[in-house]
Amino acid sequence: MISTLEKEITFRFLKARKNDGFLNVISIFSFIGISLGVAVLIIVMSVMNGFRTELINKIVGFNSHITVQPYEQAININNVKKRSLELISKNLILSNSSEAIIIKEKSSKGVLLRGYLEDDFSKLELIDNKNFVGETKKLEKNFISIGKELSFSLDLEVGDNISIMSSSGVETIIGNLPKQKTFTVISIFDSGLADFDNNIIFLNLETLEEFSNLSKNDRNLEVYLKNPQKIENQKNIVQKIFPMDLVSSWADMNKSLFSALKVERNVMFIILSLIIIVAAFNIISGLTILVKNKTKDIAILKSIGVLNNSIIKIFFLIGVIIGTSATLFGILLGVTFSIYVESIREFISNTFDITLFPEEIYFLSTLPSEINLSSIFLISICSIFITILVSIFPAMKAAKLDPIKSLKYE
């Protein structure tokens, strides 16, 4: 326990005096350094968490949560009616896909064709996007829906025609020739991810199968879940329902991407923690100088019967108070900055006419931020723990001072 005397002496040593000018500078820099280190860690972790969440939402909003693909035999559609699947799924949609080439004037571009039945197309979350332009249900024969980026790159609008060459051919007397067909753009979607918008085209499922020489047995089953975040358990349920088919989730399809994000986040945490460690060493310097300045005071305290343990507690408390208060201020600063990070980005961009977060690189138009309480708790614990460690040495040194020698040379 900490006695009243120990508390009073601790707060008296913390107060600034005229002859402690350099010591106060070190204490201030210790406080600022730890605060900035904690704040930067919280900001970086919040932005990375926000980026990961936004990326998941974009991917989940565009692709199916779980895809069931047939091996040798067609998917058993009767399994769709099973109770366990109905409990976890929101929509069950049949689809198929193939590759093709868009031909326009002197240019060409490879794309992925994704086919849906007319009624199923309107169930996609992508259609509910406010940036969706055109017909939401009319995905009939010879009509296609293209992405915003593709419409920009090929200068296409709703109602324009475009020629597409299939990767499958048709047998003629002169050999196998690729199929080519003209489609009308009926709608333009915006997924928020430039890579998807530039490379994927939606069209009628039956038209796709005819155009790409696919059969109904090749159709996939897309499962859209009520809770796509808890993917692993739900994937296992779907796998048990379709044991003879290949079952993959959105997490499987983007495993390398999210693994890289996780590694990057952990590395950033370790690197930025060095800021706190470096700042904490200022506490050692400050307390060591404080011990030198307070040699006479320590000697007097010992001479009147104050124990070594009390001396250790006093100087230990000084270091902990500086570190803890700096940590709390850093949390306040970091959380505030994280909340208004997008407004700050816009202000800097508009004021200095620079682009801090280019959409074409990061796929997102705004700087995302998600404050995670567990991350803040971990950062706080690490900061206070480092502060406790660096406060031990100066406190032990103060307790070892000989009061007789200290008073002799004063």
Sign of the CA dihedral with 77 first, then 80, 81, and 82 last: positive
pLDDT value of position 329: 92
CA end-to-end span of the chain, whole Å?
32
pLDDT value of position 332: 93
CA distances 150 to 56, 153, 237, Å, are 22, 5, 37
pLDDT value of position 336: 92
Single pTM value for the model: 0.69
pLDDT value of position 172: 61
Listed as ranges, residues in the chain with pLDDT below 50 are: 22
pLDDT value of position 23: 53
Rg (CA), the chain: 33
pLDDT value of position 403: 62
Q: SS3 breakdown of the chain: % helix, strand, coil, rounded to 5?
A: 60, 20, 20
